[in-house]
Structure 1
C-alpha cells in the first residue's frame, strides 16, 4: 500500500472539490481520501439543503473529527489542506498525527498579526452579524468572486461557485479572529515541534482572503522549530487556486515537493 494523502477542504467548498487532485495523486501511486467536515453531506446539493447540520462546528470539532479518521488508518497520512483546511492540517501535523503537510493559502493561526483589509472584506459576510458564530453562512456569487475567484474570469468564477460552494460554519472565523486574545485558542498550533514531519506553506500573490503577507507571517511562527518548513508562492493566483483551471500546476508542485521529502 502506498502513502495515503488526506485532503482537507476549507470553508465554503465541498470535499468533492478535491476530486481532480485525488485522481492526479492516485496516478502517482498514492492512496487518497477527502472526508468532509462534521455535518457535511455527501454531495454539494445535500449540503446546501441542510445548512443547520453544518452550523456551529468549531476548529476543535474539525480537528477531532479528522484525528479520529487518521487514528483508524494503518499509518499516519500526508495532509493537504486549503484555507481553513490548511490550518487544520498544521494543527494535526503539530500533534504528530501526520507524516507531512501541505497548507495552501492557510487561514491564519494564533500568533499571526497581519489582517489585511482585503481579508476583512472577504470575511465580512460572516462578521457583519455576531449571531453568525452559531450559523452556517453562504456566499453570494459576488462575494465568492471577491474572496476566491478574483484571479480568474467572471465566467469561470460563476462556474466554480455553482459547482462547489456550500454553506460554511461561522464559528471557525470567529475563533481565528479572537485567537491572539484567547489563551488557549483553537487556532493555536504547536509551531515549536521539531520532531514533526515536513511542512510546505503555499501562498497566492493575488489572494484576497489569505493574502501572501499572512502566509509569510505564518512561516515566521515556525522559526523555533528545526523541522523542515518551506514556503512556495504562486504570484498570479487567487484563493481558488485548488479548484480553478490552474489547479494542476499547484497539484504537481505539491507532488514534486513530496517526492523531494522522500514521500
Structure 2
C-alpha cells in the first residue's frame, strides 16, 4: 500500500512518563524534514518534578478517563493541516492503534504498545508491573506514582542504578488509575478485520511491562489480507526504549519503513 509523502508526525506519550521524552525524537525527525508535535496529556503540561509534587491529590488528573484522552488526540489530529503519521509509545501505542482503526492518520507506529481490549498476557513480569498502578485495592480518586523500585522493574530493567535513577527523576510522573483501568474495557476495542492505514508494531526483547510476546499477539490479531501491518522486534530493549542510548535503532527503522511505504 503506497502512502502520500508524509510531512507531519504526532508523537503520543504513554502513561507514567513526561511528554518531554520525545524531545530527541522530534529533533531527529525534524532534521529529516518532518514537522513534529508531542502534545502533553490533559493536566500534564508541566515539568516532571512539578507533576510529582502534586501526587497523590491531583484531582483533575485522577478524574481523567481513557475516552477523554482518546477524544483529545482525535481532536489534535483532526486539527492538523494534513493527516499526520502517529507514533505512540506504550499506552500511546494503543491510542495510535485506535487512530489508525478510525482512519484518522496516514500511518501508525505502535512502540511497545499497550494492547486493545481482548489481547492479553499472563506474563508474570507484566502482572507484577501493572498490579499496583491499576490500584484495585486503593482509591481511584488518587493518582498513582511509581516508586523508584517499581520504575526500575517496569521501565529501566537491565540499566545501571545511576542511569535508572536519572531516568526516573527526568521522566516519571503520576498517572490516573481510571485511564489505566479503562484500557481493559470496550472503549479500547479495535476492529481487527477493518481495512486500515499502514501500521507498524515495534517490540523489545527485555520489556517487562509490555512483553515481546504480547506485542506479537497484538500484531497477529490484525487481518493482513487488506492492509499493511508489520512487526519488528529489537533485542535488548526494555520499556524505556525511547530514552535508551541506542534509540536511533528504532527511529532509523521507522524512517526506512516510511520510505518503503512511499514506493
TM over 0.5, shorter chain = yes
Q: Residue 157 of structure 1 aligns with which residue?
A: 164
Q: Does the CA-based 8 Å contact 2:6-2:85 persist in structure 1? A: no
| Residues 1-263 of structure 1 aligned to structure 2 (within 5 Å) | 3-50=7-54, 51-177=58-184, 179=185, 185-194=186-195, 196-223=196-223, 226-262=226-262
Q: CA deviation at 1:132?
A: 4.3
CA distance in 2, matches of 1:56, 1:130: 17
RMSD: 1.8
CA distance in 1, matches of 2:225, 2:75: 26
CA distance in 1, matches of 2:40, 2:203: 23
Q: Residue 182 of structure 1 aligns with which residue?
A: none
CA distance in 2, matches of 1:42, 1:238: 26
Q: Does the CA-based 8 Å contact 2:59-2:141 persist in structure 1? A: no
SS of residue in 2 equivalent to 1:186: helix
Q: Does the CA-based 8 Å contact 1:58-1:172 persist in structure 2? A: yes
Summarize deviations over 1:181-206 as a string: whole Å, max 9, x none.
Answer: xxxx1110132221x21000011111
Q: Does the CA-based 8 Å contact 1:40-1:53 persist in structure 2? A: no
Q: Does the CA-based 8 Å contact 1:193-1:225 persist in structure 2? A: no
Q: CA deviation at 1:12?
A: 0.6
Q: CA deviation at 1:62?
A: 1.1
TM-score by length of 1: 0.91
Q: CA deviation at 1:129?
A: 3.9
TM-score by length of 2: 0.91
Greater mean deviation of Cα atoms: 132-141 or 204-213: 132-141
SS of residue in 1 equivalent to 2:241: coil
Alignment size in residue pairs: 256
Structure 2: gaps spanning 5 or more residues: none
Q: CA deviation at 1:224?
A: 5.9
Q: CA deviation at 1:74?
A: 1.1
Q: Does the CA-based 8 Å contact 1:100-1:198 persist in structure 2? A: yes
Structure 1: gaps spanning 5 or more residues: 180-184
Q: Does the CA-based 8 Å contact 1:78-1:99 persist in structure 2? A: yes
Q: CA deviation at 1:173?
A: 2.3
Summarize deviations over 1:123-168 as a string: whole Å, max 9, x none.
Answer: 1222344444343210111100100000322221111101111111
Q: CA deviation at 1:220?
A: 1.5
Q: CA deviation at 1:225?
A: 5.4
